[in-house]
Amino acid sequence: MLKIKQELLAGLAASLEQLAPGAGDKAAFESPKVAAHGDFAVTAAMQLAKPLKANPRQVADQLKAALLALPVYQQWVADIEIAGPGFINIRLKPEAKQQIVREVLAEGARFGCQPSNGRRLMVEFVSANPTGPLHVGHGRQAALGDAICNLYETQGWNVYREFYYNDAGVQIGTLATSTQLRIQGFKPGDEQWPEAAYNGDYIQDIANDYLARKTVHSDDREFSASGDPDALDDIRLFAVAYLRHEQDLDLKAFSVKFDNYYLESSLYTSGKVDATVQKLREAGKTYEQDGALWLKTTDYGDDKDRVMRKGDGSYTYFVPDVAYHITKWERGFDKVINIQGTDHHGTIARVRAGLQAAGVGIPQGYPDYVLHTMVRVVRNGEEVKISKRAGSYVTLRDLIEWTSKDAVRFFLLSRKPDTEYTFDVDLAVQKNNDNPVYYVQYAHARICSVLASWGGDVNTLGQVDLSALDTPAAQALMLQLAKFPGMLSAAATDFAPHDVTFYLRELAAAYHSYYDAERILVDDEAVKQARLALVAATAQVLHNGLAVLGVSAPQKM
């Protein structure tokens, strides 16, 4: 059906070009707001009415006649109707819709995917400072980043996942002193305990392992504790390695992997920060004032100029960000997406300004940003704000242990990133249709059960006669299947994995309606084979969509 749609679209473009030279680029199919009106809607007649100085319905009549004269429309279109001020509604023949079943079964896990476009994309996400366990907000970011990576992979991009973390600075210093105080026997509430210190039980765990002289391993480092309570630098290195290991466990539980961990400290030790500042000075985009070095970010749309280097000689936090993004460009990533919390909104203008001012060829608007809000967690009807382990927030691992990896991923992806979201733990563990991930997974498992009861070879279904799939329920399900590739493309462009969750719920609903309307394992062999092919294709698309979200497609539930 997708090939048929492209052929019909090409015919529309050619007909528009005949009516008005240059109008071929207006060729587009929309989905009618009311399904009963047809399968495709065309609004081009209303757009051309003014330049052609004609009544929209007259233009629609001309376009309808031109389309009906085309062999491809004669082969696949059952009817063309004109409605309202000039809408053109196209109704396909059943055999046109049936082709989608063959396409899905032939392409399998690749259905919806585009060929390689040869371009490289980096997505930077999570990037949590190694000062504590990953919280639910990090979980939302992990789900978003991984799903956006998966979406772009379906569109032919070579995707690279990167985790950037601050392994220096004030927060790491606080982590080290907090751990040292625990080593020395102090705890939250004691007179010696600083207000800014980290209070979670995990700090005591780090202290205990440090005193036991343990060795910790993480994806990017390894460190053995000396056990010396006075060696603050050793304590800092051990604590960072310990928490990197803990974060690795969190990410493993969430099935998220990274291609690279990039250290902020390396930007300083490699001289990249100093080199970036030098580029900006040589470009004439800086000035000295009040003992500080400023960047002329107002030249690039910022509301005020920004301090780069403070009076004490230290750089403000956006300077290494600029240096870091220059390295992304130099590493060959012509498209970069950063997944961050909404509290980073203020950094966007100044980072982009710094990249433009550096004059290294980076295009405007680089990088792209996806900003997300935090997540409220409700359990037993009450908001949960703290975790005993973390001390001040609910951890990602808490949420996974209370529910499941699949539920956490699906739920955290079910709303636009910048909208507030409340994670209902009680809903996430329910096994009924109110639970969206259960509803979708159950549709897949239900189909697998039907196919298992049949007991035949699914690979033979791609060549069966599909003419029996001419009922309204079957055609509605086939049209839903046909929307999948276009939905993936749009979701990638809009950084919108929530569109995948909406689509899967709609597809599951279409399948459940079909299952209730028509028995599949009937005595008539031809009808049974056609219906089995349809549901097998539906299972494949459910599987493909869930894979984009990083959610499993169980065969039994």
Q: List residues bridging with 165 in a β-sheet.
A: 263
Q: What pLDDT score was predicted for residue 387?
A: 64
The two tokens of residue 252 are: 């493993």
Q: List residues bridging with 287 in a β-sheet.
A: 294
> Residue 393, Cα to own-chain centre: how many angstroms?
24
Cβ contact 59:49 at 8 Å = yes
Tell me the C-alpha distance between 98 and 94, whole Å. Answer: 6
Question: If you average pLDDT over residues 376-396, what whole number do you get?
Answer: 83
Tell me the C-alpha distance between 504 and 490, whole Å. Answer: 15
The two tokens of residue 411 are: 């739920």
Q: How many CB atoms lie within 10 A of CB 178?
A: 27
Q: What pLDDT score was predicted for residue 524?
A: 97
Read off the pTM: 0.90
CA dihedral 294, 297, 298, 299 (to 10 degrees): 110
Question: If you average pLDDT over residues 500-509, what whole number do you get?
Answer: 98
Binned at pLDDT 50, 70 and 90, residue 254 comes out as very high
Q: What pLDDT score was predicted for residue 171?
A: 87
Binned at pLDDT 50, 70 and 90, residue 388 comes out as low
Name the pairing type of β-strands 158-165 and 260-263: parallel
- Residue pointed to by tokens 């040869």: 118
- Residue pointed to by tokens 């749609």: 5
Q: Taking the domains of the chain in order of start, what are their residue ranges?
A: 2-92, 433-549
pLDDT for residue 392 is more than 80: no
Q: What pLDDT score was predicted for residue 390?
A: 62
Helix (H, G, I), strand (E, B) or coil at 549: helix
Sign of the alpha-carbon torsion through 408, 414, 419, 425:
negative
Question: If you average pLDDT over residues 351-372, what whole number do you get?
Answer: 96
Cα atoms in the 13 Å half-sphere on the side-chain side of 98: 19
Phi, psi of 255 (to 5 degrees): 60, 45
Binned at pLDDT 50, 70 and 90, residue 391 comes out as low
Binned at pLDDT 50, 70 and 90, residue 36 comes out as confident
What's the chain's Rg over C-alpha atoms? 29
Q: How many CB atoms lie within 10 A of CB 353?
A: 23
- Residue pointed to by tokens 């295009």: 363
Q: List residues bridging with 217 in a β-sheet.
A: 222
The identity of residue 385, as a single letter, is K
What does the pLDDT look like over 189-226, one tens digit per residue?
999 999 999 988 899 999 999 999 999 988 777 899 99
Cα atoms in the 13 Å half-sphere on the side-chain side of 332: 6
Above pLDDT 90, what percent of the chain? Answer: 83
The identity of residue 214, as a single letter, is K
Question: If you average pLDDT over residues 116-130, what whole number do you get?
Answer: 95
Helix (H) or strand (E) holding 379: strand 375-379
Helix (H, G, I), strand (E, B) or coil at 308: strand
Region of 290 (left: φ > 0; alpha: ψ -120 to 50; beta: rest) is left
What does the pLDDT look like over 339-352, one tens digit per residue?
999 988 889 999 99
- Residue pointed to by tokens 């240059």: 22
Q: Angle 272-282/318-330 helices, nearest 10 degrees?
A: 90
Tell me the C-alpha distance between 103 and 536, whole Å. Answer: 12
Question: If you average pLDDT over residues 444-461, what whole number do you get?
Answer: 96
Q: What pLDDT score was predicted for residue 219?
A: 73
pLDDT for residue 373 is more than 90: yes
The two tokens of residue 8 are: 């019909």
DSSP 168: S
Distances (CA, A) of 36 to 73, 472, 476, 512: 20, 10, 10, 20
Instruction: Give the architecture (CATH level 2) of 2-92.
Output: 2-Layer Sandwich (3.30)
Distances (CA, A) of 301 to 297, 304, 471: 7, 9, 57
Average pLDDT of the chain is 94
Cβ contact 342:418 at 8 Å = yes
The two tokens of residue 263 are: 């250290």
Q: What pLDDT score was predicted for residue 141?
A: 96
Tell me the C-alpha distance between 427 and 411, whole Å. Answer: 10
State the fold for domain 433-549.
Isoleucyl-tRNA Synthetase; Domain 1 (1.10.730)
Cβ contact 318:297 at 8 Å = no
Helix (H), strand (E) counts: the chain: 21, 16
Distances (CA, A) of 241 to 119, 218, 248: 34, 7, 10
Question: If you average pLDDT over residues 510-516, what whole number do you get?
Answer: 96
105-114, 115-124, 186-195, 532-541: the lowest-pLDDT one: 186-195
What does the pLDDT look like over 59-95, one tens digit per residue?
999 999 999 999 999 999 999 999 989 999 999 999 9
Cβ contact 276:319 at 8 Å = yes
pLDDT for residue 166 is more than 90: no
Cβ contact 255:145 at 8 Å = no
Cβ contact 56:19 at 8 Å = no
Q: What pLDDT score was predicted for residue 389?
A: 62
The identity of residue 524, as a single letter, is D
Exposure string of 519-528, with b = 16+ CB inside 10 Å and e = fewer, is ebeeeeeebb
What does the pLDDT look like over 298-311, one tens digit per residue?
999 888 999 999 99
